[in-house]
A and B are shown apart, each in its own frame.
Chain A
Amino acid sequence: MSITVFVPRDSAALAAGADEVAAAISAEAQSRKLDVTLIRNGSRGLLWLEPMVEVEHQGKRIAYGPVTPEDVKSLFDADFLQGKTHALCHGVTEEIAYLKNQERLTFARIGIIDPLSLKDYEAHEGLVGLKAALKLKPTDIVQQVLDSGLRGRGGAGFPAGIKWRTVAAASSAQKYIVINADEGDSGTFADRMVMEGDPFMLIEGMVIAGISVGATEGYVYIRSEYPDAVSIMNQAVTIATTAGILGSSVLGSGKTFNIHIRMGAGSYVCGEETAMLESLEGKRGVVRAKPPLPALQGLFGKPSVINNVLTMAAIPFILSRGAKAYADYGMGRSLGTLPFQLAGNIRFGGLVEKAFGVTARQLIEDFGGGTATGRPFKAVQIGGPLGAYLPDALLDTPMDYEALAAKGGVLGHGGLVVFDDSADMMEQARYAMAFCAIESCGKCTPCRIGSTRGMEVIQKMQANPSLAPAQTHLLRDLCGTMVNGSLCAMGSMTPYPVLSALDHFPEDFHLTKATHQAA
């Protein structure tokens, strides 16, 4: 009987040599005349173990990792195909504490199924949500999304149901569903893992959205840095079209829905929704002024639902298990779960889906195991390049949009980037300004020019510590101008990392407590 071996095809596994490992396993099996079926799954998200190979044994999956091609022979020698132990063996995958302690709703299938097997997808609750939605009135679908409390996962946390209701109520012969898969934030990779590990889930969510608001065309805007995600999504759309999930009669319902995969071209600001629309229309990705709201005049001027990948990926669960099942997770006005991404200088980096309310400390220490270098923790940047740097003293803050905001932080797309005590926070502040200067769309002066000035001011302090108090004053002024005079969050939130670095780590800016307060 053939033995099933899983070697992930997720980019994080590929970058660590998964293709070479898969080839070595095939070759070794062949030379030993063993019957092995190789499945290229998504990643379980235990990224420090990638490439993580799993063997199916007596109905359970046994994990081995991180596996190099050189380890393969010894794995066979140890009889890993029978689930036997080995230095790289981690036992039954589901029992690994990192996974076991999660609440995986969106990531329930990822790493388990073959991403491009519809059969696998359906065997794991796939399409149940869509089938349920097809039996509902469109307004009832929107009501489910409203009741679930689902908020946008792209950063702003706007309630998805309200957006959908606005688009549903707009009258137009043509409406669009647009998925923001630009995922430009450093420290985030959950959108990528969804697209590479469970593309049909995103497709199913989009079809449900289309039916509920009366849109027949969907676009997925994927950044060019994710060629594997683009390729898998394209294949998944073709498969879904052939299977009648997409096309002129979704699952025989007579309703039309088509999906177009588009690739970005290396611009961070194209993750801002109106810049993304411009880019999708074939223009420079410059931010549009609002109003008009994209919900009313979005893509090609038509009413459009714009949602992040994770927002849309939560939809099939909500329709399949019900709004309440989703809203039972979380706290306050942050309901459901968030796939957190543990990144940077962290020992056990990866994907941790938890209900809102988990603290940064639980994520970094209990799941993440502290820094990768073993040196003391210094700071965590939460929410991408526009997110604040938080010190140890704030780590007990629950991960909840409002609770974090109260501490001067932002949750953004749920990425946590950990730094050890070797980090120079003044340099991190300089980088934040430099990044804004590079990526600014150029529309507003405070963002375009202010960021360059900000970078120069910090460089002066770096070159000459005695200038620090006076330059700090200037830097604060500049940040105030950027906050107040920028059209979008690129300019108005770059001060978050800059000022949080300054406020929490004044010594890195050559400031003593006294001079800091004066500044």
Chain B
Amino acid sequence: MNSATQPEMQVVAKAITRFQAVPGGLLPLLHAVQEGLGYIPPTATQSIASAFNLSRAEVHGVITYYHHFRQTPPPKHTLAICHAEACQARGCRSVINKADALLGTSHGSHSGHNPVHDAAKSESDWHVEPTYCLGLCATGPALMLDGQLHAHVTPAKLEALIARANTKDAS
């Protein structure tokens, strides 16, 4: 289990101060922590729970309910490829298969539609996740790479995007 570091706990404490008194403040708090750290350290659950008068199990239940929240530090790159109907109609399956081939994931196979989103941690620099619509449904296949949206994605364009990101890391 990842233990939060001192500076990490400061980010958590700051977010708690900011959102503790806000009605329904738990989700904004979790967003703030994830924005600050890239993830929500499991060891932070206790202080969040105490601040909101909840049990640790309740806070854990909320974090794990939402696909967006993650409890492990993100790798260098996060690639969210749209799997939804409008992108299917525009050929996203070939893009998903390309990502599988390049990054060793298995989102294209039927088992890739597994309800468990936070799939097994891979050691790679890449986290690949399915997303269900990015609101770019007329210009798909669509994806979000490290927070940037891309439309009209083809397998070749995906390969170029991945290569560009990897080159940036190397330099």
Residues in A lying within 8 Å of B, measured CB to CB:
11-12, 14-16, 47-48, 50, 183-189, 192, 224-227, 262-268, 279-285, 300, 341-346, 349-350, 372, 381, 385, 415, 417-420, 423, 428, 430-431, 434-435, 437-439, 452, 455, 459
A192 to B134, CA, bound (A): 10
Chain B residues positioned under 8 Å from A264 (CB to CB)? 66, 68
Q: How far is the CA of A418 from the CA of B90 in the complex (A)?
A: 9
Q: Which of B84, B131, B139 contacts A48 (CB 8 A)?
A: B139
Q: Find residues 94-113 in chain B having any chain A CB closer than 8 Å to their own CB.
A: 110, 113
Point out the residue from A189, A227, A265, A283 that lies within 8 Å of B138, measured CB to CB: A189
Residues in A with CB closer than 8 Å to B7 are: none
Q: Is the CB of B137 within 8 A of A187?
A: yes
Q: Is the CB of B149 within 8 A of A428?
A: no
When the two chains form their complex, are residues B68 and A417 in contact, meaning their CB atoms are under 8 A apart? no
Question: Given B52, B69, B133, B152, which contacts A282 in the complex, CB threshold below 8 Å?
Answer: B52
- Is chain A's interface secondary structure helix, strand, loop, or mixed overall? mixed
Chain B residues whose C-beta falls within 8 Å of the C-beta of A350 in the assembled complex = 138
Q: How far is the CA of A15 from the CA of B23 in the complex (A)?
A: 35
Of B25, B86, B115, B134, most buried by chain A (CB within 10 Å of CB) is: B86
Residues of B within 8 A of A428 (CB): 85, 88
Residues of chain B at interface, number, CB under 8 A: 44
A285 partner residues in chain B, CB cutoff 8 A: 65-66
**B contact residues around A224 at 8 Å (CB):** 31, 68
Roughly how many angstroms separate A3 CA and B133 CA in the complex, as a whole number? 37
A267-B66, A283-B62, A284-B61 known; A47-B88 Cβ under 8 A: no
Question: What is the CA–CA distance of A381 and B142 in the complex, to the nearest angstrom?
Answer: 19
CB of B86 within 8 A of CB of A186, answer: yes
Q: Is the CB of A345 within 8 A of B90?
A: yes
Task: Report B142 CB to chain A, min CB distance, Å.
Answer: 7
> CB-nearest residue of chain A relative to B28?
A262
Docked Cα-Cα span, A415 to B25, in Å, equals 33
Taking a contact as CB atoms closer than 8 A, the residue among B28, B65, B110 that contacts A263 in the complex is B28
State A290–B76 Cα separation when bound (angstroms). 44
Q: Report the minimal beta-carbon distance from B104 to chain A, rounded to whole angstroms.
A: 22
Of the candidates B27, B69, B137, which one forms a contact with A262 in the assembled complex, judged by CB atoms under 8 Å apart? B27
List of A residues within 8 angstroms of B33 by Cβ: none
